[in-house]
Structure 1
């Protein structure tokens, strides 16, 4: 299938890129056997704009997308957080090429008003809308053109290739007992929990928090290396309690074999097997579990290995991409996707 993938492909990062679900989707589509062309709206806007000022290149970017569609003749357009592309442009694509299907993907939380508005807007033009929050939360967007689907956070075996679960806790290669990376402070109070943990955990408990407390944020290879040298990871979302919603860090942590602690309110026990994710519902239960797993390294490695294997087997980016294609084209599912059971 010819697929045009419209998203931020980070060309102008020149290798210093963030771990991106969009890039995982792109490689997953290729691994699933499709002919995929990438269109990076932000990069095109800067390339086309006077003085490289992105906002000045917005109109030209929309025209370039139309030009690309006319030339490539895709059967399916999968688009993510490409805010520079207007709905009117997608409507013009439909007018010129009535048989093209449109699949919209959104990996941001519903509690951010701007993001919820973006989903609402894209539901008016897309054939299918895939959101990283669970189906119970998506009913507010029902009644538009798009059919609503949940999408998980995938791992890519070429990106999440480390396996900390195979390393003993006393190995000098491991420099952190617990890792939490963050640089986002809007719509959240999770920094308070991190501060309290820093104060209450034993002094010899190595809790590393890049991006917080005046520490530099890690990107690119620096972030990959940090994951590969940490035993356990905190999956703290900016807000908790939304069905199946998580930051993409859950896949980055678990896919590299870190034991992942995540809030029970998201209901991931609907999907994940026992002894994989470690759930907490309060600061006290989180602290107790952290210390228990820290003191029982065999148990830490067992749970982390289970979760890593589950992610790589059932939530890899090839299955993720093929699911999006099959759901959008109304095809019979080729796999028993765990989030669809």
Structure 2
């Protein structure tokens, strides 16, 4: 693998004081470094948040000028954007014209589901950089999106980082059956007043014969180390994402569930059965099917732990942050990919 210089521009959440130390941006960044690349970071939202000026609304000019100076000094081979929304269309045109020798890529983790939350907003954010990037990476199958070019839009799973996802719940007894965590935006850290989430109706229909550790519904979401502390109390988890199921999409929560050894339930319409066998993850058809399976695996603990263990090993293998970061670099730079995994064929 050729070692290159990468300017990685994304939100590293410094202003949140460690509350989001397990963000996907950090996991991707760690993967780039572990693969031997020279990586320089710019945390766009921390920069614009810290500098206020009535002459530069949103500190957008300051951010753009800072990026240009970093490019001049660092001279990267590649610029990787992650959810960078503070630059304008004209800013990207100027960057592309001034630095023609540099390859541009972006990763985008938010849902691009027509029936899902914030579709038009997310699509607009994605497209802002899409037209300027040599490669784009999304956590939804591009084959399910009719507005992207599949030649330069690629699926990536939510990454697992073995330095962050260090817990092995499948090896221990757990006091609670099922872990569920939903939220309405990680930047707020608290529930939105009056916000309606269809997932709560689903949660209300879960069997009362199992025990649950639920966050983001009736009590605030959890962040930081507390997220893992509460997750570690449970043996199983339900992966619930907003919006109608679409092939391969999931919030980054799935990497925490599989990556830390919980037996994970997911709706079969996400088609994760194409990535994991029935001995590695448990899919369900509807709420009745899920309730039956929760009670079944609650009863048969040995089988429960076996599937959780298999899922843990498989997820750490194919969702590894080094593997995903390597895929991002190879596709953006136009390098050959010698070893493929199932999700790369989409």
TM (norm. structure 1) is 0.91
> Are 1:167 and 2:176 an aligned pair?
no
Correspondence for 1:81 = 83
2:44 to 11, 23, 41: 41
Does the 8 Å CA contact 1:259/1:301 hold for their aligned counterparts? yes
**What is the aligned partner in structure 2 of residue 178 from structure 1?**
178
Structure-2 change in CA distance of 1:322 and 1:175 (3 Å): same
* Partner of residue 148, structure 1: 153
Q: What are the Cα deviations for residues 189-217 of structure 1, in whole angstroms up to 9, with x where unaligned?
A: 111010121xx322xx221111211x132
Gaps of 5+ in 1: 169-173
Look up the match of 1:120: 127
Aligned with 1:15 (options 15, 18, 24): 18
What displacement does 1:162 show?
0.2
1:220 aligns with 2:224: yes
Of 238, 251, 256 in structure 1, the residue corresponding to residue 242 of structure 2 is: 238
Q: Residues 219-247 of structure 1, C-alpha deviation per residue, up to 9 Å, x if partnerless?
A: 10100211222111110111233111111
Deviation at 1:340, TM superposition (A): 1.8
- The counterpart of 1:91, out of the listed 87, 90, 93, is 93
Q: 1:280 aligns with which of 261, 277, 284?
A: 284
Indicate if the aligned counterparts of 1:66 and 1:89 stay in contact, CA closer than 8 A.
Answer: no
- Of 57, 60, 65 in structure 2, the residue corresponding to residue 58 of structure 1 is 60
Whether 1:259 aligns to 2:240 is no
Q: What is the distance in 2 between the residues matched to 1:149 and 1:252?
A: 22
- Residue of structure 1 equivalent to 2:116: none
> Is 1:32 matched up with 2:41?
no
Please tell me whether the aligned partners of residues 187 and 239 of structure 1 are also in contact (alpha carbons under 8 angstroms): no
SS in 1 for 2:216: coil
Structure 2 residue ranges without an equivalent (≥5): 114-118, 185-191
Secondary structure, counterpart of 1:180 in structure 2: strand
The aligned counterpart of 2:187 is: none
Q: Say whether the 8 Å CA contact 1:138–1:148 is kept in structure 2.
A: no
- Cα distance change, pair 56–327 in 1 and its aligned pair in 2 (3 A): closer
Alpha-carbon distance between aligned partners in 2 of 1:187 and 1:332, rounded to the nearest angstrom: 46
Write out aligned runs for 1:294-333 (5 A): 294-333=298-337
Compared with structure 1, are the counterparts of its residues 8 and 54 closer, same or farther at alpha carbon in structure 2 (3 Å cutoff)? farther
* CA distance in 1: counterparts of 2:72 and 2:7, whole angstroms: 11
- Within the candidate set 115, 120, 138, 1:131 is matched to 138
Deviates most, 87-96 or 130-139: 87-96
Q: 1:171 maps to which residue? A: none
The alpha-carbon deviation at position 113 of structure 1 amounts to 1.9
Q: Residue 188 of structure 2 aligns with which residue?
A: none
Report the CA distance between 1:18 and its aligned residue: 5.3
Per-residue deviation, residues 2-44 of structure 1 (Å, max 9, x unmatched)? 0011100011122222531111000010001100011110111
Normalised to the residue count of structure 2, the TM-score between the two structures is 0.90
Instruction: Give the 3 Å change call, closer, same or farther, for CA 135–210 of structure 1 in structure 2.
Output: same
User: For the residues of structure 1 that align with 2:56 and 2:315, how far apart are their CA atoms?
Assistant: 37
Instruction: Indicate conservation of the 8 Å contact 2:182/2:240, yes or no.
Output: no
Aligned length: 328
CA displacement at 1:331 relative to structure 2 = 1.0
What residue is the counterpart of 2:203 in the other structure?
Answer: 194
SS at match of 2:322: helix
* Alpha-carbon shift at residue 187 of structure 1 (Å): 8.4
